[in-house]
Amino acid sequence: MNQQRRVEWSRLDNASKYFAATYSERDEKVFRISCELFEGVEPEILQQALDETIERFPYYRSVLRRGIFWYYLENSDIHPLVEKESKPVCAPIYREHERKLLFRVLYYNKRISIEVFHALSDGSGALRFMMTLVYHYLLIKHGEEFSGKIPELNYNASISEKRDDSFNRYYQGRHFKKKVKRKNQISLFTKVYRIRGTRLEENRMKIIEGAMSAKAVLDEAHKYNTTMTVFLSALLFRSIYMDMPVRKKDYPLVLVVPINLRQFFKSETSSNFFSTMNISYRFGKDSTDLNEIIGSLNESFRRELTEERLNEQLYWQMSIEKNPFARIMPLPIKNISIRIADAVVEMGITASISNLGKINMPSEFESYIRQFSVIPNVKRPQLAVCTYGDRLVVTFASPFEETEVQKNFFKSLSEMGIRVEISSNM
Amino acid sequence: MIYCNYCKIYIRDKKAKCPLCGNVLPENGRIEKAEDIFPVIPLTYERHILIRILIFISIVAIVASYVVYKIVPTNVNWPGFVLFGLLSVWLSLIYALRKRYNITKSIMWQVIIVSGLVIFWDWKIGWMGWSLDYAVPFLCIAAMLVMYITAKVMKLSARDYISYFLLGGLFGIIPILFILFDLVKVNYPSYISVAASIIFLSAIIIFHGDSIKEELRKRMHI
């Protein structure tokens, strides 16, 4: 019996705890980030790039394990391998008792994709991993073309910064006093409109990806004096409304919008660090005027995105996990409670939109990278947006067969004179 | 790129119908040039087919045995044995499959389930005491041996098996209760089991004490 080297392990952060408890066959909590190049991907070079990248993100070598009271992440020495895409989009990653990595790297024709189990990282965290991977790929592949001047990736963080539990860092503790009384626009008992549809076989999801000029969309948004996210949210609200049955027309719509907390609190973590806000809107008597919707949304975004509100939300998220009663609950009971709470919350949600923002890669890479895209994990129709250069990619993921909302959404963009290029997995 | 006249959008990949509106796209010869962005993944139907066949056979066996019993009655209620026998096999099999990724854990579960089942069977066919006399103690000894051998053969690291070794060792001490409460007619299997467990436990505590502490801290953190 020889002595073993001590194995590093870490607690899950606040959001990871939620994802580890609520993943299911219907919503595997797996999302994807893709990067499309102008040329075919070479698997051997991608593998070399992955080997380089994993050295810089040792945290991605973690496996998820069950303890008596909480899950935890344990370092492993599993060597990640690139795979040719051969499973449905965002296929399951984590399975109880299986000791496997929580992400996979795929390639297919011109695309490099990573799929990540949400308990490992959120979109912004995984994007950092993805950018590093693509960076190394292009550097190995086209290194000599940069004539000695090696482009630099604008992301420098220490290994410990990358695995920082920023939720815990910015949790203000029990003495935190709410300054403003939170006013709920929509009570828990109001019936919120939810999109229904025919589920796809094998719980697959339908991906519809629309690429367009970022500048053109931004110009449209500026016409209404608003931002890209608000503008796209408003379009989404209207697209859903157009598809609503008449008898439900006066139900409110609620969009969940994840907020990347790295923008507000200093953090370089490649783990989870986000919060969410609920934006609701109730349509008046058949008025689908975009101005009205945007006006209301602008107001909601302004109200939610204040330091006070974000601190409050963070405090609220953390206080559940810090509750002594919750802490000593055995894991299976904890999981059931979280699942029930999640199902209740889910009742009040119509759809979701998340914007990963503008992705910056070294300018030398412009002629190699066509676009980045993000596929969110879905329980309900969900939208994810990201921009690279002038290419804005809006990805609609839905567990349903029907595509009415998607059609309304992209059609309204094309009717504004924006050229929309669609691709789909079905 | 193909253009959908209805949705006013361009379609990048190879599609005969518009992914948005479902209308047939105008065939203008450009489909060959369309890109291949997402692979087509066929549906997998054959999942768990073996399990399904086994479940079907089990049901047929139970139904058939009851029918035969009704037509040709005997003194012994043997279809009951068929039913409980199959239930026992399934219970054991389900746990073996569910815990298949963690071999030591799987062994631990098997010991607990099979012990429960043998006691149940012994009681069902008129308590002769063989379950406590022989079956349970020998199961405990066998489990410890098998756990040790698999851990060595599969080169598992200490953190993977240590907590189950600990549980296995503790479980093996239980037969001491059989002796104390005078539940057994034959003593020696219980003695062997208890002795082996104590030796086993002391070995892992002495040689792997740190691992145990570390593992417990990890698993029990609140």
HEC per residue, B184-207: CCCCHHHHHHHHHHHHHHHHHHHH
Is B141 in the same domain as B175? yes
- Which residues are A213's β-sheet partners? A391
Domain enclosing residue B90, as ranges: 45-98
| Domain A9-168 CATH class label | alpha beta
Å between A70 CA and nearest CA of chain B = 7
B36–A403: do the CB atoms touch at under 8 Å? no
Q: Please state, in angstroms and rounded to a whole number, the distance separating the CA atoms of residues B210 and B207.
A: 8
Render pLDDT for B29-46 as a digit per residue (tens, 0 to 9). Answer: 565 667 888 888 888 766
- Quote the pLDDT of residue A47: 95
Is B107 in the same domain as B214? yes
Q: How confident is the model at residue A227 (pLDDT cuts 50, 70, 90)?
A: very high
Q: Please state, in angstroms and rounded to a whole number, the distance separating the CA atoms of residues A68 and A82.
A: 33
Q: Please state, in angstroms and rounded to a whole number, the distance separating the CA atoms of residues B140 and B145.
A: 9
- Quote the pLDDT of residue A130: 94
B221–A72: do the CB atoms touch at under 8 Å? yes
Q: Is the dihedral of CA B175, B180, B183, B187 positive or negative?
A: positive
Q: Compare A72 and A151 and report the one with higher pLDDT.
A: A72
Q: How confident is the model at residue A1 (pLDDT cuts 50, 70, 90)?
A: very low
- Is A31:A377 a contact under the CB 8 Å cutoff? yes
Residue A147 half-sphere exposure toward CB, CA atoms < 13 A: 1
Q: Which of B9, B11, B222 sits opposite A328 (nearest CB)?
A: B222
Asked if pLDDT for residue A363 goes beyond 80, the answer is yes
Q: Please state, in angstroms and rounded to a whole number, the distance separating the CA atoms of residues B87 and B72.
A: 24
Q: Which chain B residues are Cβ-neighbours of A421 within 8 angstroms?
A: 1, 9-12
Task: State the architecture of A172-365+378-424 in CATH terms.
Answer: 2-Layer Sandwich (3.30)
A65, A81, A93 from A87: Cα distances, Å: 24, 15, 11
- Quote the pLDDT of residue B195: 92
Secondary structure (3-state) at A170: coil
State CA A46 to chain mean position distance: 24
Tell me the residue type at A206.
K
Residue A160 half-sphere exposure toward CB, CA atoms < 13 A: 1
Of chain A, the percentage scoring pLDDT greater than 90 comes to 43
Stretch A194-217: mean pLDDT: 91
Q: In chain A, whose CA is at the least distance from the CA of B17?
A: A426
Cβ of residue A67 closer than 8 Å to a chain B Cβ: yes
Asked if pLDDT for residue A173 goes beyond 80, the answer is no
CATH 3.30.559.10 residue ranges of chain A are 9-168
B44–A202: do the CB atoms touch at under 8 Å? yes
Q: Is the dihedral of CA A191, A197, A200, A201 positive or negative?
A: positive
- Quote the pLDDT of residue B31: 59
Q: How confident is the model at residue A49 (pLDDT cuts 50, 70, 90)?
A: very high
Q: Note which residues in 256-285 of chain A have CB less than 8 A from chain B.
A: none
**Close Cβ partners of B171 (under 8 Å, ≥ 6 residues apart):** B108, B111, B112, B140, B143, B197
Render pLDDT for A67-84 as a digit per residue (tens, 0 to 9). Answer: 889 999 988 888 999 999
A89–B8: do the CB atoms touch at under 8 Å? no
Stretch A386-395: mean pLDDT: 94
Which two three-digit tokens encode residue B135?
């079956």
Asked if pLDDT for residue B125 goes beyond 90, the answer is no
**Close Cβ partners of B188 (under 8 Å, ≥ 6 residues apart):** none
Q: Please state, in angstroms and rounded to a whole number, the distance separating the CA atoms of residues A76 and B31.
A: 46
A414–B221: do the CB atoms touch at under 8 Å? no
Q: Please state, in angstroms and rounded to a whole number, the distance separating the CA atoms of residues B157 and A26.
A: 34
Q: What is the DSSP letter of B24?
A: B
Is B37 in the same domain as B69? no
Cβ of residue A328 closer than 8 Å to a chain B Cβ: yes
Render pLDDT for A319-352 as a digit per residue (tens, 0 to 9). Answer: 888 888 888 888 889 999 999 988 888 888 899 9
ipTM entry: 0.82
- Quote the pLDDT of residue A153: 74
A293, A406, A414 from A237: Cα distances, Å: 8, 11, 17
Q: How confident is the model at residue A2 (pLDDT cuts 50, 70, 90)?
A: very low
Stretch B35-58: mean pLDDT: 82
Is B107 in the same domain as B190? yes
CATH 3.30.559.30 residue ranges of chain A are 172-365+378-424
B55, B73, B98 - which closes a domain: B98
Q: How confident is the model at residue A129 (pLDDT cuts 50, 70, 90)?
A: very high
Give the H/E segment covering residue B71: helix B49-71
**Close Cβ partners of B216 (under 8 Å, ≥ 6 residues apart):** B163
Asked if pLDDT for residue A41 goes beyond 90, the answer is yes
- Quote the pLDDT of residue A328: 87
The mean of the pLDDT values for chain A is 87
Strands (E) in A227-307, as ranges, are 253-260, 274-281
Cβ of residue A208 closer than 8 Å to a chain B Cβ: yes
Nearest to A65 by CA among A102, A31, A28, A32: A102
- Quote the pLDDT of residue B151: 84
Q: How confident is the model at residue A177 (pLDDT cuts 50, 70, 90)?
A: low
Is B200 in the same domain as B171? yes
Q: Please state, in angstroms and rounded to a whole number, the distance separating the CA atoms of residues A211 and A397.
A: 14
Asked if pLDDT for residue A179 goes beyond 60, the answer is no
Q: Please state, in angstroms and rounded to a whole number, the distance separating the CA atoms of residues A359 and A275.
A: 20
Is B24 in the same domain as B61? no
Q: Note which residues in 162-201 of chain A have CB less than 8 A from chain B.
A: 201
Nearest to A15 by CA among A99, A124, A127: A124
Interface-testing mutation among A3, A407, A414, A419, with chain B (most B C-beta atoms within 10 A): A407
Q: Which chain B residues are Cβ-neighbours of A110 within 8 angstroms?
A: 35
- Quote the pLDDT of residue B29: 54
Cβ neighbours around A416 below 10 Å, total: 15
Q: Please state, in angstroms and rounded to a whole number, the distance separating the CA atoms of residues B212 and A153.
A: 43
Nearest to A25 by CA among A78, A96, A79: A96
Asked if pLDDT for residue A285 goes beyond 80, the answer is no
Å between A69 CA and nearest CA of chain B = 6
First vs last C-alpha separation in chain B: 57
Q: Please state, in angstroms and rounded to a whole number, the distance separating the CA atoms of residues A110 and A118.
A: 25
Q: Which of A4, A87, A111 sits opposite B41 (nearest CB)?
A: A87
A67–B220: do the CB atoms touch at under 8 Å? yes
Render pLDDT for B162-196 as a digit per residue (tens, 0 to 9). Answer: 888 888 888 888 888 888 888 888 888 889 999 99
**Residue in this structure with the two tokens 């290194």, named with its chain if needed:** A143
- Quote the pLDDT of residue A3: 46
* Overall domain count for chain B: 3
Is B2 in the same domain as B67? no
Region of residue B48 (left: phi > 0; alpha: psi -120 to 50; beta: else): left
Stretch A103-130: mean pLDDT: 92
Interface residues from chain B to A (CB-CB < 8 Å): 1, 7-13, 15, 19-22, 35-39, 41, 43-44, 98-102, 105, 157-159, 207-208, 210-211, 214, 218-222
Secondary structure (3-state) at A397: strand
Is B159 in the same domain as B136? yes
Q: Please state, in angstroms and rounded to a whole number, the distance separating the CA atoms of residues B151 and B206.
A: 18
Q: What is the largest CA-CA distance in chain B?
A: 90
- Quote the pLDDT of residue A317: 81
Is B60 in the same domain as B145? no
Is B118 in the same domain as B89? no
- Quote the pLDDT of residue B128: 83
Is B121 in the same domain as B175? yes
Asked if pLDDT for residue A132 goes beyond 60, the answer is yes
Is B111 in the same domain as B180? yes
A424–B158: do the CB atoms touch at under 8 Å? no
Where is average pLDDT lowest: A2-16, A60-74, A208-222, A394-408? A2-16
Q: Please state, in angstroms and rounded to a whole number, the distance separating the CA atoms of residues A127 and A140.
A: 20
Q: Is the dihedral of CA B213, B219, B220, B222 positive or negative?
A: positive
Q: Please state, in angstroms and rounded to a whole number, the distance separating the CA atoms of residues A371 and A360.
A: 11
